[in-house]
A and B are shown apart, each in its own frame.
Chain A
Amino acid sequence: MKIAIRNGRLIDPANHVDQVADVFIAAGKIAAIGSAPSDWHSNKEINAQGLIVAPGLVDLSVHVKRGTLATELAAAAAGGVTSIVCPPDTDPVLDEPGLVDMLRMRANAQHGAHLYPLGALTKALGGEQLAELSKLAQAGCIGFSQADAAIADTQVLWRAMQYAATFGFTLWLRPEDPYLSREGAAHDGEVSSRLGLNGIPSSSETVEISRIIEISRGTNVKCHLSKISTARGVEMIRAAKREGLPITADVSIHHLHLTDIDIGHFNPNFRLSPPLRSLRDRDGLIAGLKDGTLDCVVSDHTPRPREAKQVPFGEAAPGATAVELLLSLVLRLAESAKLDLPDALAMIGARAAKTAGIAAGTLSVGVAADVCVFDAGAYRHITEASLKSAGKNTPFMGYELPGVVRATIAAGHIAYEQAS
């Protein structure tokens, strides 16, 4: 299949490209930029006049379950996302190579976003016995994680770091102390006090970041910290990076837009993990993103069935459906936080790919053709019907958001095209 994307504004931050140029795709790869290769005959032409042509988006946190894999990959494609990293809390947990093979096979059959699994760091995410990391890596796991589960036993965490460091594996750790966050539903502060919700103090994050940094220092293991939510956490990561420790970190798009005040009258769609925190924290996260302390932005896509959110706030399952909203919310952030468009796109593109160590996020000639074509000036109304995901649980329901995806191409296949 040969595809030509004509007259779009090509933004490829990794190659410092921002200009109007045609893109030519053949045999699943970027064949040429600018002028067509000799003897070019398109099977498909996409007119991108007035649109932006960018590398397909890279989302480092998309939770998938077996039953809804196809739906959620279609949702990713509709959101312009062509690479997703999935935490190991799939159903069943990714703690055996065979399960990883099966998941990847099923994902590949969809011809949508590329799926990069994280293996379970410990068996059944129990935090006690190491999973077979080398075998899981051979099966295609790009790193190891506990998803949202903790390793309470510090000795197990230390051993896991030593073992992972031995083979150069990266640990993806969600910094949350299981004791300080126990039974918590909202950030411990004025809002949780007013609403009478169990608080999750900021220290639940910073205590765990500190523990991870201190133990990892001796092992030199590569650690990626997932879903930072506090300003103090950003400061600690900034200091660790300055020290030269091999640490990276991401932040969820929700935490860059929202705070605990937005919970309003107990709206369960604002129950997230980590919890939405204070205005000061949100400002600290944005500053951390701007100065590179936080490497990239994730959607932390967590679709939930309707009944999981039709309960009181504290009983609601945490998380939000988000992979389809990532581009729009990053465009909105670019506006509100005054980011250049190429810089903003890099946070869900080249910077994310580099963080995960995956080949994605650029439009260099010869790389796999993952492309997102979108209209940055158009607005979309977020409704349940407008979301392809099985989950309709988003804090942004009813919003008008900028950015409409016109086409998504994954490895040279049209993964999504907006009906005209």
Chain B
Amino acid sequence: MLSKKNIQLNENGELHHLLAIEGLPKRILERILDTAESFVGINEREMKVVPLLRGKSIFNVFFENSTRTRTTFEIAAKRLSADVVSLDVARSSTSKGESILDTIANLSAMHADMFVVRHSASGAPYLIAQNVAPHVHVVNAGDGRHEHPTQGLLDVFTIRKYKKQFNHLTVAIVGDILHSRVARSQIHALTTLGVPELRVIGPQTLLPAEIERLGVRVFTSMEEGLRGVDVVTMLRLQNERMNGALLPSASEYFSRYGLTPQKLALAKPDAIVLHPGPMNRGVEIDSAVADGAQSVILPQVTYGIAIRMAVMAILAGATR
């Protein structure tokens, strides 16, 4: 029987794998954010490299394609002086019928210290974490519609940068909650960090069953949901959601749930707008908002490097 204990933490309660935000205590989230803060400075220097992970081997294993996320993990690893190898498994071995565990076993034989894993199936990083050697660390870089913990962390890092404290904020997450691993990670991160009011906004077809049990208020009207919020996170709406009966069309979706300057005016005047990217302009977000003064979408990308450096450094035990 597989253990039901939190396999992300070691026996001393320290982070051993980063698989999900759910189940992580506040002290660990805050440590990651504080560590990332120290790396922001490094990223702004002329010489952007520190020797914290010299001699460590990090394998980026992407069973599902993602150039952006993979690249930010690569940059983060290189800035920590690790040896990093990226494998686009989606186009190689598994398409020849090799199982996930066989792929990981082969890479383990090359003395990996850390795997950064993306997979289209929810839970795949757990399977891997349960089957690697005890000294090997696993970072979830997005699994199915389950979680994308480093994205959730960089989102809350960005929010903290602009809003300083979490304990007075009202945050709204808008759009395709059902298929979004970003939404789940952000919900768990924000509730753990003490955000008093967290809202999700979307049509019923894009809201998961019993989502309110995760500690959120559900709104189907964007106008009502945005009223008075400090932070708006817009989620990407993938084109394939127009097939089937989830939504009639992109333009109808935009008319109801697209973030326009008019709708954003319902939020607090100093509200910030986040988007995990890549954006679909004119589907979930109007360009005037995406490029506007309240958008923090590009800073999110910058902070993403610092967050991933922090996670890798903490996992490898290179920080105190």
Contacts and interface: CB of A to CB of B under 8 A. Distances in A.
A69 to B, nearest CB: 27
Interface stretch (A97-105, A246-254, A305-313): A305-313
A398 B1 CA distance: 5
B62 to A, nearest CB: 15
Nearest to A193: B208
Interface extent on B, as a size class?
20 to 34
Interface string B97-139: 0011100000000000000000101111011000000000000
A311 B208 contact: no
Contacts of A359: none
Contacts of B214: 190, 193-194
B99 A314 contact: no
Nearest to A315: B121
A208 interface: no
Given A190-B213, A310-B99, A312-B100, A195 B122 contact: yes
Contact of B22 (A194, A312, A313): A194
B145 interface: yes
A199 interface: yes
Contacts of B146: 195-197
Contacts of A266: 122-123, 126-127
Contacts of A315: 121
Interface in A298-356: 307, 310-315
B204 to A, nearest CB: 13
Contacts, number: 81
B208 A192 contact: yes
A267 B2 contact: yes
A194 B184 contact: yes
Given A193-B213, A193-B214, A264-B4, A313 B121 contact: yes
A264 B100 contact: no
A199 B211 CA distance: 13
B99 A196 contact: no
B1 A397 contact: yes
A309 to B, nearest CB: 10
Contact of B144 (A190, A194, A196, A395): A196
B143 interface: yes
Given A265-B2, A307-B99, 16 more contacts: A190-B213, A193-B209, A193-B213, A194-B22, A194-B184, A196-B122, A196-B145, A196-B146, A197-B146, A265-B123, A311-B121, A312-B123, A312-B124, A313-B121, A314-B122, A314-B123
18 contacts: A189-B209, A190-B210, A190-B213, A193-B209, A194-B22, A194-B214, A196-B145, A264-B2, A265-B123, A266-B123, A266-B126, A267-B1, A269-B1, A311-B127, A312-B144, A313-B123, A314-B123, A315-B121
Interface of B: 1-2, 4, 7, 22, 99-101, 119, 121-124, 126-127, 143-147, 181, 184, 208-211, 213-214
The 4 A-B residue pairs with the shortest CB-CB distance in the complex, in nearest-first order: A266-B123, A196-B146, A312-B121, A398-B1
